[in-house]
Chains A and B, each alone.
Chain A
Amino acid sequence: MEPLLVTDTLLDIKDLTVEFPTRRKVFRAVNHASLTVQPGQIHGLVGESGAGKSTIGAAVLGLLERPGHITAGVISFKGDQISGLDDEAMRKLRGRRISMIFQDPLTSLNPLFTVKEQLVETILAHHDISDGEATKRARDLIDRVGIPDPDTRLNQYPHQFSGGMRQRVVIALALCSDPDVIIADEPTTALDVAVQAQILDLIKELARERQVGVILVTHDMGVIAETTDLVTVMYDGEPVESGPTHEIMGNPQHPYTKSLIAAVPRPTLKLHRFPQISYGGRETRFAIEDLARNWPKTDNDMSKPLFQIEGITKRFLLRKGLLPWDREYFTAVDSVSFDIKPGEVFGVVGESGSGKSTVARMIAGLYNVDEGRITFDGQVVSDLSDKAALNAYRQDIQMIFQDPFSSLNPRMRVDDIVAEPIRHHRLLAGDAIDQRVRELLDQVGLGAEAALKFPHEFSGGQRQRISIARALATQPRFLICDEPTSALDVSIQAQILNILKDLQEHLGLTMLFISHDLPVVRQMCDRVAVMKRGKIAEIQTTDDLFANPQTDYARELLELMPRLDDLSTENLEAES
Chain B
Amino acid sequence: MLSYILRRVFQSVIVLLVVGLVAFSMFRFVGDPIDNMLGQERTQADIDRLRSDLGLDQPFVVQYAKFLRGAVQGNFGVSYRQGRPVSTIIAERAPATLELAAVSGFLAITLGIGLGVFTAIRRQGFAANAIMTVSLIGVSLPTFLIGILLIYIFSVELDLLPSFGRGETVRIGGWSTGFLTASGLKALILPAITLGLYQMTLIMRLVRSEMLEVLRADYVRFARARGLSDRVVNFRHALKNTLVPVITVTGLQLGSIIAFAIITETVFQWPGVGLLFINAIQFVDIPVMAAYLMLISVMFVSINLIVDLLYYAIDPRLRIDGRTT
Is A409's CB within 8 Å of the partner chain B?
no
Question: Does B228 count as interface, using CB distance less than 8 angstroms?
Answer: yes
Min distance, Cβ A221 to any Cβ of chain B, angstroms: 25
**Cross-chain contact B241 with A110 (CB below 8 angstroms):** yes
Asked if B232 contacts A125 (CB within 8 A), the reply is yes
Complex contact B225–A122 (CB within 8 A)? no
Given A111-B241, A112-B316, A157-B316, is A121 in contact with B232 using a C-beta cutoff of 8 Å?
Answer: yes
B69: interface (CB < 8 Å): no
Known contacts A125-B226, A125-B232; A109 and B219 CB within 8 A of each other = yes
Q: Which residues of B contact A103 (CB under 8 A)?
A: 218
Closest to B238 in A: A110
Residue of B nearest to A318 (CB): B323
Instruction: Please determine whether A107 and B218 come into contact, CB atoms closer than 8 angstroms.
Output: yes
| Contact pattern, B 123-139, Cβ under 8 Å of A = 1, otherwise 0 | 00000000000000000
- Contact partner of A99 (CB less than 8 A), chosen from B221, B225, B241, is B225
- Chain B, residues 290-320, CB within 8 Å of chain A (1/0): the string is 0000000000000000000000001111001
Q: Which residue of B lies closest to A110 (CB)?
A: B219
Q: How far is the CA of A437 from the CA of B241 in the complex (A)?
A: 44
Chain A residues positioned under 8 Å from B232 (CB to CB) = 121, 125
* CB within 8 Å for A108 and B222 given contacts A159-B322, A160-B320, A160-B322: yes
Give the contacting residue for B228; candidates A121, A157, A161; CB below 8 A.
Answer: A121
The winner among B222, B229, B240 for most chain A CB atoms within 10 A is B222
Quick one: given A157-B317, A159-B322, are A107 and B226 in contact (CB under 8 Å)?
A: no
Task: Kindly state the separation between the CA atoms of A107 and B220 in the bound complex, as whole angstroms.
Answer: 9
Partner of B227, one of A91, A108, A112, A157: A91
Cβ of B324 within 8 Å of any chain A Cβ, yes or no, is yes
Assuming the contacts A111-B317, A160-B322, A160-B325, asked whether A104 and B218 have C-beta atoms less than 8 A apart, the reply is: yes
Give which listed residue, B227, B237, B240, contacts A125 with CB less than 8 A.
Answer: B227
Shortest Cβ gap from A394 to chain B (Å):
34
Q: Is the C-beta of A418 less than 8 angstroms from some C-beta in chain B?
A: no
Stretch in A173-181, A197-205, A488-496 with 4+ CB within 8 Å of B: A173-181
Chain A hits for B84, CB < 8 A: none
Binary per-residue interface labels of chain B (57-88) against chain A in the complex, 1 for a CB within 8 Å, 0 otherwise: 00000000000000000000000000000000
Instruction: Pick from B227, B237, B320: contact of A96, CB below 8 A.
Output: B227
Q: Tell whether, in the assembled complex, residue B226 and residue A111 are in contact, meaning their CB atoms are under 8 Å apart.
A: no
Query: Is B28 in contact with chain A by the CB < 8 A criterion?
Result: no
Taking CB atoms, residues of chain B closer than 8 Å to A159 are: 316-317, 320, 322
Residues of A within 8 A of B222 (CB): 100, 102, 108-109, 170, 173
Residues of the A chain whose Cβ atoms lie less than 8 Å from the Cβ of B323: 318
Contact residues, B185-237 vs A (CB, 8 A): 217-219, 221-230, 232, 236-237
Residues of B within 8 A of A174 (CB): 226
Which B residues are CB-close (under 8 A) to A111?
A: 219, 241, 315-317
A161 to chain B, nearest CB (A): 6
Q: Closest chain B residue to A92 by CB distance?
A: B227
A107 to B219, CA, bound (A): 6
Interface size on A, residues (CB 8 A): 38
Q: Is the CB of A110 within 8 A of B225?
A: no
A124 to chain B, nearest CB (A): 10
Asked if A110 and B223 sit within 8 Å, CB to CB, the answer is yes
A100/B320 in contact, CB under 8 A: no
Does A110 contact B237, Cβ atoms closer than 8 Å? yes
Interface residues of A in 86-126 (CB under 8 A from B): 91-96, 99-100, 102-104, 107-114, 121-122, 125-126
For residue A117, which residue of chain B has the nearest CB? Answer: B236
Which residue, B217, B227, B230, B324, has most C-beta atoms of chain A within 10 A?
Answer: B227
Q: Among residues 131 to 151 in chain B, which have CB atoms less than 8 Å away from a CB atom of chain A?
A: none
Are B325 and A161 within 8 A (Cβ)? yes
Determine the main DSSP class of B at the interface with A: helix
CB within 8 Å of A: which B273-305 residues:
none
For residue A61, CB closer than 8 A to chain B, the reply is yes
Q: Which residue of B lies closest to A161 (CB)?
A: B325
Q: Which residue of A lies closest to B223 (CB)?
A: A110
Interface assignment of A391: CB less than 8 Å from any CB of chain B: no
Contacting pair B226 A63 (CB below 8 A): no
Separation of A110 and B315 alpha carbons in the complex (Å): 11
Q: Is A548 an interface residue (CB 8 A)?
A: no
Using CB atoms, name the residue of chain A closest to B124: A66
Contacts of B228 in A (CB 8 A): 95, 121-122, 125
Which residues of the other chain, A, contact B325 by a CB distance below 8 angstroms? Answer: 160-162, 165
Q: Which residues of B contact A114 (CB under 8 A)?
A: 316
A-chain residues with CB within 8 Å of residue B316 when the two chains form the complex: 111-112, 114, 157, 159
B171 → chain A, closest Cβ, in Å?
A: 45
* Measured CA separation A43–B147 after assembly (Å): 66
Interface contact A173-B218, CB-CB below 8 Å: no
Check A95/B240 contact, CB under 8 A, given A107-B218, A125-B232, A165-B325: no
Q: Are A112 and B226 in contact (CB under 8 A)?
A: no
> What is the chain A residue whose CB lies nearest that of B314?
A112
Kindly state the separation between the CA atoms of A99 and B236 in the bound complex, as whole angstroms: 20
**Alpha-carbon gap, A162 to B324, bound state (A):** 8
A400 to chain B: closest CB distance in Å? 28
Beta-carbon contact of A108 and B218 below 8 Å: yes
A91 near B241 with CB under 8 A, answer no
Kindly state the separation between the CA atoms of A92 and B224 in the bound complex, as whole angstroms.
Answer: 11
Residues of A within 8 Å of B217, CB to CB, are 107
Quick check: A100 and B225 within 8 Å, CB to CB?
A: yes
A112 B224 Cβ-Cβ under 8 A? no
The CB with the most chain A CB atoms within 10 A, among B226, B237, B321, B323, is that of B226
Minimal Cβ-Cβ distance residue in A for B316: A157
Q: What residue of chain A has the Cβ atom nearest to residue B219's Cβ?
A: A110
Give the chain A neighbours of B241 by CB distance below 8 A: 110-112
Alpha-carbon distance between A226 and B224 when the two chains are bound, in angstroms? 30
In the complex, the answer to whether B320 meets A157 with C-beta atoms within 8 Å is: yes
The CA-CA distance from A109 to B225 in the complex, in Å, is 12
B295 to chain A, nearest CB (A): 32
Complex-state Cα separation, A174 to B228, whole angstroms:
12
- Give which listed residue, A99, A108, A122, contacts B219 with CB less than 8 A: A108
Contact A122–B226 (Cβ < 8 Å): yes
B229 CB, nearest partner CB in chain A, Å: 7
Residues of A contacting B225 in the complex (Cβ-Cβ under 8 angstroms) = 61, 63, 94-95, 99-100, 102
CA distance A177 to B227 in the complex (A): 9
B226 contact set on A, CB distance < 8 A? 94-95, 99-100, 122, 125, 173-174, 176-177
B218: which A residues are within 8 A, CB to CB? 102-104, 107-108
Q: Are A126 and B221 in contact (CB under 8 A)?
A: no
Contacts of A102 in B (CB 8 A): 218, 221-222, 225
Q: For residue A99, which residues in chain B have a CB less than 8 angstroms away from its CB?
A: 225-226
Q: How far is the CA of A161 from the CA of B325 in the complex (A)?
A: 5
A111 to B228, CA, bound (A): 17
CB nearest to B324 among chain A residues: A160
What are the residues of chain A within 8 A of B321 when measuring CB–CB?
Answer: 160
A112: which of B221, B229, B230, B240 is its contact (CB, 8 Å)?
A: B240
Given contacts A61-B225, A91-B227, A94-B224, 8 further A-B contacts (CB under 8 A): A91-B224, A94-B226, A95-B228, A96-B227, A111-B316, A125-B226, A125-B229, A159-B316
B binding-site residues for A, Cβ under 8 Å: 217-219, 221-230, 232, 236-237, 240-241, 314-317, 320-325
Q: Give 14 pairs: A residue, B residue, CB < 8 Å, sorted on A.
A: A91-B230, A93-B227, A94-B227, A107-B219, A109-B222, A111-B317, A112-B314, A125-B229, A159-B316, A159-B322, A160-B320, A165-B325, A170-B222, A177-B227
Shortest Cβ-Cβ A-B pairs, 4 listed: A95-B227, A162-B325, A100-B225, A107-B218
